[in-house]
Amino acid sequence: MTAVRGGTRVGIDVGGTFTDLVVLSDRGVRVVKVPSTPHAPEQGLWDAYEAAELAAAPQVLVHGTTVATNALLERKGARAVLLVTAGFEDLLELRRQDRAGLYDLARHHPPPLVPRERIVGVPERMGPGGPIVPLTPAAVAGTIAAVRALAPEAIGLSLLFGFLHPDHERALAAALRAAFPGVPVVVAHETVPRVREYERTCTVAAEAFLRPRVGGYVEGVAREAAARGIASPHVFASNGGALRAGLAAVRAANLALSGPAGGVRGAALVGAASGIHDLLTLDMGGTSADASVVRSGEAETRTHGEIAGVPLAVPHLVIETVSAGGGSIAWLDSGGALRVGPESAGAMPGPACYGFGGQAPTVTDAYVALGWIPPDRPLAGRIVIHRDRSLAAIAALAERAGLDPAACALGIVRVAEATMARALRRVSVERGLDPSELTLLAFGGAGPLAACALADLLGVPRVLLPPHAGALSALGIAAADETVEHAVPVHERADAWDAAAGVLSHELETRVLADLPGAAVSFVAECRYARQGYELDVPLRAGAWAAVTAGFHVAHERAYGYRDPASPVEVVALRAIGTVKACAPVMAPSRHSIVGVTSRLRIRLEGGHVDAAGYDWETLHAGQVLAGPAVIEGLSATALLLPGWVGRVNEIGAIVVERGSARPD
């Protein structure tokens, strides 16, 4: 039986602009929103915690962090030294010998996290069958001397075929740890025991680059949590589960999608509570927008991909991130075309309308100028909106572009929507999914403002606007299951791997339970047809190893539209996933009295100014019908229903929006 841990849980999502906190208890859901402090993200975390004014410390605190993501984006990590098999020192530069842009000769890949001058070749060589060039004591001594001359803050070690034959990695790692006490040593067979030397080595380099900064941050949060009486601080990981702080501190690369993954987890919870299980999700926050997919109630996971331009072979949710947040700055390129992002106004100075000194026009300023964000209600209950400053910032850009200010504001919004639509297509159409068969769940502070327009662009028939939309990532983080994953390489034919599976699964289960006692352990086999280049995940029950072939055929047909029963199936790796389930949150209770329009607004749309209904999101009642054009103002988010779209409030307080009549059911 899966263990369940309940009690009061707190989830904190530290974003680039706002820090959101959600409290889950037997009283339901409570939301707190405060401005982030980008220079010291832990300050925003504790500001939100203090603003919540909890009567007692929570049983569990989980927080999502952008520290790893920002370190990768900004290339601000540790001075790492990377050790590889001699002759492979140029691996990170050579990559897969692919172009950054197939037809763009001026576009380049991001530089490696570890430059060539800090990569040391070790005179040794493992082949698929074992040692070819032995690792001698002289080679170890020479390697340590070379590393010492480079003054490392962290060391990564990734030797050829170390995932199959780790003896050389073990011996060299022991010598390095003895020679450099206090310096993190990241070893490939311990961190990412996988085939493909490029992705494996990139992941080791990323972990070494991130661990001192991310580990120090996590340990600092854990110390402060202990001082506040919080016994169980966790960090949300890229795979959608929570890691204990001690494990998170040494798995920095696993936190690269910490915040965005929380939103997908929250979207799946709201979808399930609304009876909608196939979702296209969009999280539009202050700095970026994140697109993902939930199918049959589960977020999709993969073990290979790029995060912030860095190839990482760690389990993570399928998420596409684009620079189209509310704080994304609008500008004109050298040809006079209107662009949005990637530069963001962030939390400070923020959009011009915040009144914190920002001068550049942002997407949020465009929303304010168009009347979609009314100035009469402070954002997050704290930030007063200055519409005159938005109008001034938009007017300055419009003058340079030779546009009417209103047309310029609409143009900014449409450019941002086009950018988000491309991300949504990448996670759906380009992966064989038909958006017309999905429901768009839009959240984040600004996501519900773009929802109807994006649904029109993609041909999505239905939109779901969740309760607590601006803090849905924090909700997903608060409700996260505690998880631990371990993997081992297999490289066996599926029709002959039963004996190996029994031994390896027992080894994996032992490792998982050592990290997470009491967990329910499940298994995933990574499989492919013979001679294929990439694998697909096949979930398995312990002991049912023979079912892997049939399971892979089903997974392949689902992913690619066909199966090949005549081709042998190979098992490349086996993963064990340990899970301790969290209690599902109690969503907002139903309300039965119906209230009408709370205000009348004048907003600008494509055809000119129109009258719109204004609603207070927090006073909407189950069964209430909202006809567009309408603006719905909430404590954490604002929504726009375009003409022809009708919303109906369901039993959990979510708004189901479809094209059609406003007549009540």
The 10s digit of each residue's pLDDT in 435-488 is: 999 999 999 989 999 999 999 999 999 999 999 898 999 999 999 999 999 999
Are residue 569 and residue 509 in the same domain, yes or no? yes
CATH code of the domain containing 158:
3.40.50
Q: Which of these, 356, 355, 363, 338, lies nearest to 285 by C-alpha position? A: 363
136-143: long-range contacts (C-beta < 8 A, 24 or more apart)? 140/171, 140/172, 140/175, 143/83, 143/172
pLDDT of residue 5: 46
Are residue 178 and residue 88 in the same domain, yes or no? yes
- Which residues on neighbouring strands pair with residue 34, listed in sequence order? 19
AA letter at 177: R
For β-strands 298-299 and 599-605, DSSP reports them as: unpaired
| Number of domains composing the chain | 4
Is 268 within a domain? no
Instruction: Give the tens place of pLDDT for each residue, 577-634.
Output: 999 988 777 665 545 455 556 788 999 998 899 999 999 988 898 899 999 899 999 8
d(CA 21, CA 355): 24
CATH code of the domain containing 20:
3.30.420.40
Are residue 223 and residue 205 in the same domain, yes or no? no
Average pLDDT over every residue of 158-183: 96
Q: Over 60: is that where the pLDDT of 665 sits?
A: no
Is 239 within a domain? yes
Average pLDDT over every residue of 345-372: 90
Q: What is the DSSP string of 518-543?
A: T-EEEEEEEEEETT-SS-EEEEE-TT
Is 461 within a domain? no
391 near 354, Cβ under 8 Å? no
Are residue 534 and residue 639 in the same domain, yes or no? no
Distances (CA, A) of 409 to 376, 398, 404, 468: 20, 8, 9, 27
d(CA 492, CA 298): 29
- For residue 141, the surrounding DSSP H or E stretch is helix 137-149
DSSP structure class, residue 112: P
Instruction: Give the tens place of pLDDT for each residue, 109-141.
Output: 888 999 999 999 999 999 999 999 999 999 999
CATH code of the domain containing 488:
3.30.1490
Phi-psi region of 88 (alpha: psi -120 to 50; beta: other; left: phi over 0): alpha
Q: Over 80: is that where the pLDDT of 380 sits?
A: no
Are residue 96 and residue 62 in the same domain, yes or no? no
Instruction: Give the tens place of pLDDT for each residue, 531-579.
Output: 888 899 999 988 889 999 999 999 999 888 889 999 999 999 999 999 9
Are residue 229 and residue 196 in the same domain, yes or no? no
Is 375 within a domain? no
Q: Which of these, 183, 179, 156, lies nearest to 169 by C-alpha position? A: 156
d(CA 162, CA 170): 9
AA letter at 82: L
Instruction: Give the tens place of pLDDT for each residue, 474-497.
Output: 999 999 999 999 999 998 999 889
Are residue 123 and residue 198 in the same domain, yes or no? yes
Question: Residue 95 in 3-state DSSP?
Answer: coil
Residue where the block lists tokens 């704290």: 382
Question: Residue 559 in 3-state DSSP?
Answer: helix
pLDDT of residue 663: 53
Boundary-marking domain end, from 556, 582, 608: 582
Q: Over 80: is that where the pLDDT of 637 sits?
A: yes
Hey, what are 397's tokens?
């850009």
Is 529 within a domain? yes
Report the b/e string of 360-369 with b at 16+ CB within 10 A: bbbbbbbbbb
- Which residues on neighbouring strands pair with residue 482, listed in sequence order? 242, 580
Question: Residue 367 in 3-state DSSP?
Answer: helix
Sign (positive or negative) of CA dihedral 409, 412, 415, 418:
negative
* Beta-carbon-side half-sphere exposure of residue 395 (alpha carbons within 13 Å): 6
pLDDT of residue 3: 39
Are residue 486 and residue 563 in the same domain, yes or no? yes
pLDDT band at 25 (very low <50, low <70, confident <90, very high): confident
d(CA 207, CA 155): 9
Q: What integer best gives the mean pLDDT of the chain?
A: 90
Q: Which of these, 334, 338, 335, lies nearest to 361 by C-alpha position? A: 338
Check: pTM over 0.95? Answer yes or no: no
Distances (CA, A) of 435 to 136, 191, 260, 453, 457: 58, 37, 21, 14, 10
Is 641 within a domain? yes
Hey, what are 557's tokens?
């047909």
pLDDT of residue 28: 77
Report the b/e string of 220-257 with b at 16+ CB within 10 A: ebbeebeeeebebbbbbbbbbbbbbbebbbbbbbbbbb
| Domain boundaries, position 604 | 599-659
Are residue 250 and residue 145 in the same domain, yes or no? no
Sign (positive or negative) of CA dihedral 396, 399, 400, 401:
positive
Q: Over 60: is that where the pLDDT of 45 sits?
A: yes
Is 373 within a domain? no
Is 642 within a domain? yes
Q: Over 50: is that where the pLDDT of 2 sits?
A: no
Q: Which of these, 590, 589, 613, 591, lies nearest to 600 by C-alpha position? A: 613
Are residue 115 and residue 156 in the same domain, yes or no? yes
Are residue 540 and residue 630 in the same domain, yes or no? no
Are residue 58 and residue 104 in the same domain, yes or no? no
